Amino acid sequence: MSHLNIFVGTMYGGALDVAEQVKPLFEEAGYQVEIREQPTLEVLTEHVSDLALFCVSTTGNGDFPGDFVPFVRELQAQSPSLVALCYGLVALGDSSYETFCGAGRSLDELLEGLGATRLGERLEVDAMETFMADDDAVPWAEQWIEAQQLKVD
Ligand SMILES: Cc1cc2nc3c(=O)[nH]c(=O)nc-3n(C[C@H](O)[C@H](O)[C@H](O)COP(=O)(O)O)c2cc1C
């Protein structure tokens, strides 16, 4: 069976809600889905040939949520090759901050720099416009599955 890991970085739970709401869509598309709330580099590298979805909010001044920081530090310190990794990214933020979606954007750059391939465009959810992030993320995920032909038998 094909696997999808959803890596979550959240302060207040919005990004975790996104992960939980999109999970059934991927199950219907034929995936066994795991939500990783405190991801480690080991989990990513063990599952590097599985599909990955990152749901990451921004805190502070363009910073990663605390529980996600060790994962990012490990990625930066160890620079593993991620050429086998295909991923999607949902970034949560608030456009009243100059560092809008700073964490999601930095993560995207970091993953790309390590050779991973993002499938399609990154979704940026703006809390100024969308109260519940999953209102944007669910239709995005439906469209992502369709456009990237991610359904598996
Ligand atoms: C203290 C604080 C700092 C924030 N800093 C940023 C920021 O620098 N850039 C941004 O785009 N959003 C920022 N936000 C907005 C959050 O990213 C946004 O509300 C998001 O939906 C929270 O998602 P979460 O519930 O998964 O943590 C900040 C919010 C708070 C409360």
**93 Cα–ligand 1 center, Å:** 5
**152 part of a folded domain:** no
Residues 6+ positions from 50 with CB-CB distance below 8 Å: 2, 3, 4, 5
Q: What is the CATH number for 10?
A: 3.40.50.360
CA nearest ligand 1 atom 5, residue: 59
* Distance separating alpha carbons of residues 149 and 72, to the nearest angstrom: 29
Q: Specify the pTM.
A: 0.98
Q: Residue 9 forms beta bridges with which residues?
A: 56
Structural domain total, the chain: 1
Q: How far is CA 104 from the centre of its chain?
A: 8
Splitting the chain (153 residues) into consecutive groups of 10 residues, what average pLDDT does each group show? 96 98 98 97 94 98 98 98 97 98 98 98 98 96 98 89
**153 part of a folded domain:** no
**32 part of a folded domain:** yes
Range of the domain at 90: 2-147
Task: Specify the pLDDT at position 1.
Answer: 81
**128 part of a folded domain:** yes
Task: Specify the pLDDT at position 43.
Answer: 95
* Distance separating alpha carbons of residues 61 and 39, to the nearest angstrom: 22
**12 part of a folded domain:** yes
Q: Is 60 in the pocket of ligand 1 (CB under 6 A)?
A: yes
Task: Specify the pLDDT at position 153.
Answer: 76
